[in-house]
Amino acid sequence: MSDEINIRKERRAGRITLTRPKALNALSYDMCLAMEDALDAWAADDSVNLVIVDAEGDKAFCAGGDIQKLYDTGRAGDFAFGRRFWRDEYRLNAKIAEYPKPYIAFMQGFTMGGGVGIACHGSHRIVCDSSQIAMPECGIGLVPDVGGSLLLANAPGRLGEYLGMTGTRMGPGDAIHAGFADHYLPASGWDALKAELIETGDATLIERAASPAPASPLAATQAEVDTLFTAETLPDLLEALESDDTEIAQSTLKKLSRNSPLSLACTLDMIHRLRATPSADIRHALDLEYRFTHRAMEHSDILEGIRAQIIDKDRQPNWQHDPTTLPDTAVSDMLAPLGQDALTFDKEG
């Protein structure tokens, strides 16, 4: 146990609780490593039937990664820390997706970015009325990562492009519709369910306890989103939105105008690549994401995005490209194979 995370065994369950509510349970590098060590130990522990991941506080399960150190090291010209952070975080994400025992996440409030990575690849993902799930990385010059690109590629229709490029928040009904969550249960019933899971080690209790999911506003606009996001490239998408005077087209255009053009173009390409690959799994997605993040500190808009949104909070990022002048090679350069620097899933890697 530390000030950031509480890891323990209780009866039939392995328990991981994020304990940084004042920081919206932002995920630090040390928290990632501690989670991985626990999961490794419990995978071979016959006394642990399932894993429960939750967080303190009402505002957030985990609102993202703790990016202050990423910013500080990147600004100082130290790109090794960011590469190591993402490499080790992605290994944890893959481990969660492939975990041999039920992995149960309770996602109250905000679950964004890195929070998606430690919750939404689990086998049982539970939301309540306060749940707000999103992949807002394009707003800070990154791309949807931590395996989020795979979730987006697998979302119904073209919702993946819409959610990944706009960073739109999903309530409980939307999260279930889009494939980021499985079960809805009012928060008032969470403690009782956790107690039963701890006592019995029986994950089938979740489905029995769950309530009918709330309506999904996204599902109601599915046809419109699918039509808007048929474009294959960012310029074509923006042109289609500009020529469409519907409310959803204009609101989408406004959201995209705030985000990094390079990130938007790469996100669109990544989702298309993964969707076009029937065999794509979590490792394919993470490998593709790491191509971007490995290069991010040197070549993307991430440092400027973090400065504008989180450090100075002026909300006036100076992106390096304009959507109309984005070089044709920009996406292929960011997503080219890394050769000997490619992502590995070994701890020693």
Q: Are 234 and 265 in contact (CB under 8 A)?
A: yes
The predicted-structure confidence for 223-277, as pLDDT tens digits, reads as follows 999 999 999 999 999 999 999 999 999 999 999 999 999 999 999 999 999 999 9
The predicted-structure confidence for 330-344, as pLDDT tens digits, reads as follows 999 999 999 999 999
Tracing tokens 């070549």 back to the chain, one arrives at 299
Q: Are 159 and 221 in contact (CB under 8 A)?
A: no
pLDDT, average across residues 81-98:
97
The predicted-structure confidence for 56-81, as pLDDT tens digits, reads as follows 999 999 999 888 889 999 999 999 99
pLDDT value at 347 more than 90: no
Q: Which residues contact 241 (CB under 8 A, 6 or more apart)?
A: 228, 249, 250, 252, 253, 256
Q: Is 124 helix (H, G, I), strand (E, B) or coil?
A: strand
CA distance 77 to 105: 36
Q: Which residues contact 45 (CB under 8 A, 6 or more apart)?
A: 9, 14
CA distance 209 to 196: 10
Cα–Cα nearest to 16, from 54, 66, 46: 54
Q: Are 46 and 12 in contact (CB under 8 A)?
A: no
Q: What pLDDT score does 349 carry?
A: 46
Q: Buried b vs exposed e over 155-194: b needs ≥16 C-beta within 10 Å?
A: bebbbbbbbbbbbbbbbbbbbbbbbbbbbbbebeebeebb
Provide the 8-state DSSP code for 215.
P
